[in-house]
Amino acid sequence: MTRIAYVNGKYCDHDLAHVHIEDRGYQFADGVYEVFAVLNKKIVDYDDHLKRLYRSLNEIKVKSPICKDAFLFIIRNLIRKNNVTNGLIYLQVTRGVAERDFKFPKNTKPSLIITSKKTSMDDYFSKFKKGIKVKITDDLRWKRVDIKTLNLLPPVLAKQKAIENGCDEAWMLDSEGFITEGSSSNAWILIKNKLITTPASNSILKGITRLSLIKALKKKKINLVEKKFNINDIKNADEAFITSATQFVMPVVKVDNIKIGKGKIGNYANIFKDAYMEAIQLK
């Protein structure tokens, strides 16, 4: 069966789907996006992702091209049409198509594309068992990374550096030597039963997976602190993790040359993953 994408009101063949060369997303990264996980044909934490999408749109002053209920309808259609059991939904809204000019165009309709992709939970679980390696890089991003914009060149370069160094993810350092977050995930360390993650501010994306894990761990009375951490803290960490819609909770076993714990996933990895999986809302 052909893979189907949604582009500005139409369902079309994914391979032939296209937007105009003067779409402002293409020329200025003038748009925002969301990534939703799909588990068992259901959307994970849909309401929180949609809320963040509307916040991002509001911050960049773009009006939603469709009404709120229509998003759920289209995403469900795509899951069905593409027979996605487990996978990801990518949703992007840009300011629309207009002759290239920095100022906002007048009377331009925002563009909306939504795509879906299948992923394998077996792949996730086998990656989870081994854990991932992380490379430290500088955080070269702008000052409003709390908005989920298309402006992704710094994280692209950070991730590529990680890959070239045999790692799976980059943890980015701010000018004071604190880890802000991963190139496409939030960062966590565990020191002596205390779980630490960077506090939400304009300097990190407030991950929906992060939010769900925090809610889940509060119920389980896990000792959690939202505070900045640096490389010295990582050296003292017994375990480390990343969270994102694409990786759920994923243990980290090495950061640069620092082995976390014994270089193998620790006891809390499964506890946190299971708590997260229990806490998610499926729609």
CA–CA distance, 84 with 45 (Å, rounded to integer): 17
**SS3 (DSSP) at 45:** coil
Min. distance of Cβ 148 from ligand PDD in angstroms? 7
Please report, as residue ranges, which positions from 264 to 283 form the binding site for ligand PDD (by CB under 6 A).
none
Please give the span between the terminal C-alpha atoms of the chain, in angstroms, as a whole number. Answer: 25
- Residue 50's closest CA among 262, 249, 245, 270? 245
29 Rama class: left (phi>0) / alpha (psi -120 to 50) / beta: left
Kindly tell me which residue out of 210, 237, 239, 269 binds ligand PDD, with binding defined by CB under 6 A: 210
CA–CA distance, 233 with 228 (Å, rounded to integer): 10
Closest residue by beta carbon to ligand PDD: 207
Residue 58 in tokens? 């509001």
Min. distance of Cβ 140 from ligand PDD in angstroms? 13
Q: Show Cβ contacts of residue 262 under 8 Å, excluding neighbours closer than 6 positions.
A: none
Q: Is 235 assigned a catalytic role?
A: no
Nearer to ligand PDD, 90 or 104 (CB): 90
Nearer to ligand PDD, 101 or 123 (CB): 123
Q: Binding of ligand PDD at residue 181 (CB under 6 A)?
A: yes
CA–CA distance, 162 with 171 (Å, rounded to integer): 9
In 40-154 the beta strands, taken as DSSP E runs, fall at: 42-43, 87-94, 111-118, 132-138
Q: Binding of ligand PDD at residue 208 (CB under 6 A)?
A: yes
Nearer to ligand PDD, 245 or 252 (CB): 245
Catalytic residue among 10, 68, 135, 148: 148
Stretch that binds ligand PDD, among 17-25, 121-129, 156-164, 179-187 (CB under 6 A): 179-187
Is 248 within 8 Å of 279 (Cβ atoms)? no
Kindly tell me which residue out of 25, 207, 251, 261 binds ligand PDD, with binding defined by CB under 6 A: 207
Q: Binding of ligand PDD at residue 151 (CB under 6 A)?
A: no
Q: Binding of ligand PDD at residue 205 (CB under 6 A)?
A: yes
Q: Binding of ligand PDD at residue 245 (CB under 6 A)?
A: yes
Please report, as residue ranges, which positions from 32 to 51 form the binding site for ligand PDD (by CB under 6 A).
35
Please report, as residue ranges, which positions from 111 to 140 form the binding site for ligand PDD (by CB under 6 A).
none
C-alpha distances out from residue 278 to 125, 132, 133, Å: 16, 23, 26
C-alpha distances out from residue 225 to 7, 76, 191, 210, 219, Å: 42, 36, 11, 13, 14
Kindly tell me which residue out of 94, 149, 203, 209 binds ligand PDD, with binding defined by CB under 6 A: 209
Residue 242 in tokens? 């990343």
Nearer to ligand PDD, 24 or 52 (CB): 52
Tell me which DSSP letter residue 175 carries.
Answer: T
Nearer to ligand PDD, 108 or 246 (CB): 246
Q: Which residues are near ligand PDD by CB under 6 A?
A: 35, 155, 181, 184-186, 205, 207-210, 243-246
Q: Could you list the active site residues?
A: 148
